[in-house]
Structure 1
Amino acid sequence: MHIIPVIDLKNQHVVLAKAGERSNYQPLCTPLCPSADVFEVIQHFLTLYPFKQFYIADLDAILNQGSHTELIQNLLQQYPDISFWVDNGLSVVEMNQYSYPSNYRIVFGTESQTQIKAPLPANSILSLDFQNDTPLGAQSIFDDSRFWPDSVILMTLNKVGMNSGPDFKKLAYYRQHYPDKNFIAAGGIRGLTDLQELIRLGIKTALVSSCLHFGKLTASEIQSLS
């Protein structure tokens, strides 16, 4: 099992995500890290475990309320040996307007897409976004797997930060119906037991946040999953 910490950025701070209600997200202050500064948050994560990937959601960009482009560029430069998976609301039609460093992976969230007419770049990641059981974004993207890259996040926003467990039913459905894809669990993971169940379902990667911040997933447990 591959564990990837999540960092949500809003108003130049790392925020604690809960239930996908982004207007209510507050600057981070947790047992793991009392600071909402992104560089301090990453250092605390790295003190816990030598993570090689991080997932970043630029919420301002996703909501069309600004962006953290400069901050993310600084992260890419400061940590050249770490891969950053970045969802900044980029649409498929915009992707060719930019050049990216080698440690940047584009995440295309369906909530930011109106349509996809051609296969996404092989190294990109598609995030199938849900609020409860409602798909966010064009239904055609969810229905046509021909254009999906190999790596696909199943993001259940209402589960985020709620300590209620991931959406095992949805994860099992997609794993069964699209066995050629590498599905990545996101939303609601509480700790080791949930991760072990995900492994049983054939899920090999998970995005986590709250369970790290509140000590529900330890370094030894992460190591035991690798």
Structure 2
Amino acid sequence: MTVVPLLPCASIEDMLAFYTALGFESTYRQSKPNPYLAMRRGDIDLGFFGMPGFNPADSYGSCIITVPDTSELHRAFADGLRSLYGKVPLAGIPRMTRPRPRRNAEGLAGFSVVDPGGNWLRIYPEAAAADPPPLGGKLAQALDNAVVLADSRGDPAQAAKILDGALARITDAPAVERVEALAYRAELAVTLQDPERAAAVLAELDGVRLDPPDRERLADTLAAVSELRGS
């Protein structure tokens, strides 16, 4: 059995370029009488239909995709986006988040892709976590709430408010928790197109002292921060 979601877009040509960069192949394409495009990557099949005058910012299109390894797929998508745009876009449409555990998904480390049609691809690992992730301290819990708001519900402004309040209020959090929270707050600033806030948060992050084990634990986060500096 094969189920193919049909998602709206303003231009199937834009979708073709975008999904080709993500490693998809076109399996069907029609311009008239109704624009339609079918794309496939492995076991993932997606269909797109063109709508005259469609505004991607108003799209409610969404689908859930489960894969064996979200990190591996995210790396492949990131490489493709860099080849197309010169970077991984974090603001506007299209954009992509990076894998993070989500409290509203039993701690699964998912990420989201918003394509040129404004459609959300919500990508999670196939297997549920054996045990729920630890709650961590108050700052970690605030970060969890912010991730749900921004990455799942599409409300980065409210997520930023939550993190700003927590970062100002919770000054005794472990260094690892503070770096994770600051890194995500910087990402939100980029998403909200607020370069001054992004620069201020990155400067604060630079002042957090980390020992070698912490740096090893935060390797992926610190690599993402390095890319943020070029956004």
TM-score higher than 0.5: no
Q: Which protein is richer in strand relative to its size?
A: 1
Higher relative contact order (CA 8 A, sep 6+): 1
TM-score by length of 1: 0.31
Q: Which protein is richer in helix relative to its size?
A: 2
Larger Rg: 2
